[in-house]
Amino acid sequence: MEQLKLENQICFPFYAISRLITRAYQPYLDKLGITYPQYLVLMVLWEKDDVSVQNITDKLILNTNTVTPLLKRMEGMGMILRQRAKDDERKVIIRLTEMGNSLKKEAAFIPEKLMGNIAYSEVNLEELIATRNKLQEWISCLGNLK
């Protein structure tokens, strides 16, 4: 049954590249004392602070039950504050602390370091950007499937 061979799957290369990219980030994130999912949350907040949990889950394409424990740990580490919205008690607003903001400056070097590593490989930068753009299209398309 050819359709069940791993090498014939569309999903496996995406899964594998995701794991390899996360592994490439890890040494840099370890220096900051954060995990890759925490880094993603911080990037959302560095872009726009004071956002709802729903906003974070939408941007990261994650479920609330995945994000909530992550946010609780980040709050315990002193990176963020979680507060109920004044206008709607059901809504939780996430805000960066001074520590969370300071990590932005420390993390700013990470994309450059990763790109530097890729520059020494056989991967062409223009190809990489075109692939990212195509993946964004696919994410948008697949995100609309029910």
Tokens of 83: 């507060």
pLDDT greater than 80 at residue 60:
yes
CB 119 within 8 A of CB 127: no
Domain ranges of the chain: 9-114
Say which residue the tokens 């002193």 belong to. Answer: 78
CB count in 10 Å sphere of residue 80: 23
Tokens of 32: 């900051």
The single-letter code of the amino acid at 84 is R
Average pLDDT score over the chain: 91
- The answer to which of 40-44, 101-105, 107-111, 122-126 has the lowest mean pLDDT is 122-126
CB 81 within 8 A of CB 95: yes
More reliable by pLDDT, 1 or 73: 73
The DSSP secondary structure of the chain, one letter per residue, reads: -GGG-GGG-SHHHHHHHHHHHHHHHHHHHHHHT--HHHHHHHHHHHHS-SEEHHHHHHHHT--HHHHHHHHHHHHHTTSEEEEE-SS-TT-EEEEE-HHHHHHHHHHTTHHHHHHHHHHTTT--HHHHHHHHHHHHHHHHHHHT--
Q: Which fold has domain 9-114?
A: Arc Repressor Mutant, subunit A (1.10.10)
pLDDT greater than 90 at residue 146:
no
pTM comes to 0.88
Residues 75, 53: Cα–Cα separation, whole Å: 13
Per-residue pLDDT, 52: 96
